[in-house]
A and B are shown apart, each in its own frame.
Chain A
């Protein structure tokens, strides 16, 4: 008995000790003890880990914080200047192309586009640039690559490049870019931009066919879904359009004149790929162990990936071999006052790395930002600042809290939009099959474009997804845009009253509707009400439903019934590809800051239902198409402006889109994060962010002091319940078996 009580006492002590240490460790920090004191930027990602970190395949926004930190493309954008200015990154300089005619003769810089057969870019590279440490470069004493002849057994259970004992590096050379551009013809992974590049790079289309044939030979006899595939060595086959003139000079030959080519060179598609990395990852067992460029980049960027926990955590640390870059010393007016030039000339990156943890739901993410545990909510999403600002506008208490904590929410508009599209193939809202019908349908679209009050919707009601009403398809801040300028309003939907631009009255829309053959929203011939279908790209959540309901009300102003046909994204895509939609909601996140990247969405040959292009409305106007082709080859200048104005006038009149709005880009930062400037184009922003860990530690402690008294109160409540129970139990124990009758029997009963 004594032994038993001793054992229980020991167990009780152990339990108490465990509870005490658990309670002692209790705080709401999701990080390890002392992590806040490190010079690491904390942020989060949602849904799942980035899909592709391979520069050939990566094309989605959530991947960019990692890819643009690990890789360094040829060019990039000046961090502070707007409109965006291209600056060299891996390249030594941003070069102008040399033009040659079909006979190979050099042409002057202002030669007409139709005479230009090729544009030649000779790009000098920075010297002495080294790759981040990686086992693919490790060499033995004899100078042989150490890990390029591994067997499955030697690889064992290694699941990270850091699991290899030795790491190596080598200098970046022009051949790495040659290899990278050839690699877009790969048959091994998705190469989303191959079709675009093949249209411009001399010989790339044929190179794609060659690689396909050669790879088929390599894979002969191998199962198609086999993870282990032999090394597809692109060095074996030359590509006429991309060659290395010498160790540090890259030559690219582009078909015709294509001024937008420089923008493609700012994306990670134009990052170097060392052949050693491909050869290393092609070894047996690598894919099975998750070792590939898809997960583990090999680049020359400022940071390198050191931890990849699927759907849990990604950590990037400073690349010890980074060649060095300094913070810019010039920017836009107001940048100096905003403190954005305080770090002028200092070496980048400021942070030693960043850590991203998964947070799937919005509420916990916002709360963790407010608690100070996220320096920025998400690196890749540019809307958090807009949402927090909207929260502050809705509540004085929230605003006071945000002000007291010093949160920063810089906001601007950028090259992304949302709009309502009309399917050009639709008999009611589309082009129309007869000249008379075409006029009527155009008037209907114009009436609808007036009726949808984007200013009310996305500047006053849905501020968390807010933006400025658009007057056309060309985003503000790019060359040729008229958005926001006094003469930049759309005369179809807006008018000038006392010097102010305002939306046309609903009476104008009703008049146009009557002229379109639907007086008061009814068909003039049949008297039937006009019913239109809104093909929405997602199933409706409560949040989305309010927006869709608002849209229904906009149509109801004209007595037009808007039927919602909400489907999931796949079904919507299928509908779009078949051209079966009527009115749809869509958006575009620009690839680069040039009007061409938006105007191409209205170019006839890009019709989605015909060529699977990005012209979702299937809009087609021969005059517009002709001007588009001309505009494509023009350099920024008066001539391009003139052509763009003509194109703008055509599409405003045709109204294939209700132009929607330019969504705000708003970032959210803690007070200890410096140098944040919103942009959706600049994706290597992490290296510019500077944090003050000492302030972070102090603020986190101040904002998150544990409160224990409610737990004590809860304990007392439990004790009280036990006491009541004990009392009740004792009363029962004392009770006798005899039950006293509740009512005395009636006399004489």
Chain B
């Protein structure tokens, strides 16, 4: 197990280097430091002198990858790529490019709390609702309930999440006046701002998830151990919950586990539409504002969380199925 973990961490570091390099190349293929400076300084009366000053203050006056003017190892280290990458691996996210005042680490800490308030209940409810709905369909398999349930699933997964948001906002805020259309408040007051996005996000994902789980459960239900359980005289409900669910856990863990990074990183679309100041909204703002410091920090953090969640998923396999060995 320990060997496995060490190896995974080693792979993880290599992946992070690759992700960091890839982000860097992609970002600077589309934007130049001059573009970033121009956008951040503002639209009117921008002079080249101001642009150069902006770049110097943020270290973008150096070559991106290779500094011909330097000697020895400084050719590689006295570059934008090196400066920006080394600090990331020390988890020092630094300050944003757009505004000197923003400490990215502080913003991530503050905003992660907000994102978690949206994502944790959503994650738990999503797993429970999808599994419950899928079990219900399997319980009533080959009946009209199953048929219309599957139709409903296909319908739900075919609709864009933006449609859910617009219809949800118009129905529950504009027509019924039950929840705010957009906004945020701290503490317990957050509940009324979270009800609608959680509900809509749940609904938008339910169809796809439930259909997937239903297929897994149906595959399990035809196996010998289920027949044996039934032959023992167990009720259908007990067969499903005690035997089928347990044996179908691995694909459920894989599917649910893939959402784990989003629990921390927030939802780009839902946070943006509902004015929730989480990490998802932070990323969107950084991209539109061409704030490379934030973009690379968030991509890096996302990659770390993906690697970590994959390790957690692997560990969870051993819990769900004792036959699985991590070597």
Contacts and interface: CB of A to CB of B under 8 A. Distances in A.
B72 interface: no
Interface string B34-49: 0100111111111111
B45 A187 contact: no
Contact of A28 (B31, B178, B289): B178
Given A227-B100, A312-B184, A195 B177 contact: no
A632 interface: no
B46 A192 contact: yes
Contacts of B44: 59, 192, 591, 614
A742 interface: no
A711 B196 CA distance: 13
B57 interface: yes
Contacts of A357: 183-184, 275
A26 B195 CA distance: 10
A189 B42 CA distance: 13
Interface stretch (B101-109, B243-251, B315-323): B101-109
Contacts of A59: 42, 44-45
Contacts of A288: 95, 103
A193 B45 contact: yes
A573 interface: yes
Given A192-B41, A310-B107, A728-B145, A32 B277 contact: no
Contacts of A224: 56-57, 59
B53 A728 contact: no
Contacts of A310: 102, 107, 110, 277
B38 A573 contact: yes
Contact of A192 (B45, B170, B183, B193): B45
A367 B281 CA distance: 21
Nearest to A368: B181
Given A28-B179, A360-B273, A364-B275, A292 B45 contact: no
Interface string A275-317: 0000000000001111110110000000000000111110000
Contacts of B94: 225
A574 interface: yes
Interface residues of A, number: 71
Interface string B207-224: 000000000000000000
Contacts of B100: 189, 227, 287, 292, 294
B175 interface: yes
A634 B321 CA distance: 88
Contacts, number: 179
B175 A358 contact: no
A527 interface: no
Interface string B155-177: 00000000000100110011111
A364 B276 CA distance: 13
A707 interface: yes
A736 interface: no
Interface residues of B, number: 71
A22 interface: yes
B309 interface: no
B73 interface: no
Contact of B143 (A22, A225, A360, A728): A728
A612 B48 contact: yes
A366 B324 CA distance: 55
A395 interface: no
A289 B285 contact: no
B46 A360 contact: no
Nearest to B103: A288
Contacts of A573: 35, 38
Contacts of B42: 51, 59-60, 190, 192
B174 A371 contact: yes
A706 B176 CA distance: 6
A360 B59 CA distance: 31
A26 B179 contact: yes
Contacts of B98: 51
B262 interface: no
Given A358-B277, A725-B136, A311 B282 contact: yes
A22 B106 CA distance: 31
Give the interface centre of B59, B99, B288 by most chain A CB atoms within 10 Å.
B99
A165 interface: no
A307 B100 CA distance: 18
Given A48-B289, A192-B50, A361-B272, A22 B177 contact: no
A195 B46 CA distance: 9
13 contacts: A27-B192, A30-B193, A51-B42, A59-B45, A190-B42, A192-B42, A291-B101, A360-B273, A360-B275, A570-B39, A574-B35, A612-B48, A707-B176
Q: Which 5 A-B pairs have the closest CB atoms?
A: A30-B183, A570-B35, A312-B277, A30-B180, A364-B182
Interface of B: 31-32, 35, 38-50, 53-54, 56-59, 94-95, 98-103, 106-107, 110, 136, 139-140, 143-145, 166, 169-170, 173-185, 189, 191-193, 195, 236, 272-273, 275, 277, 281-282, 285, 288-290
Given A190-B54, A363-B166, 7 more contacts: A27-B178, A312-B184, A364-B181, A364-B275, A573-B38, A704-B177, A706-B177
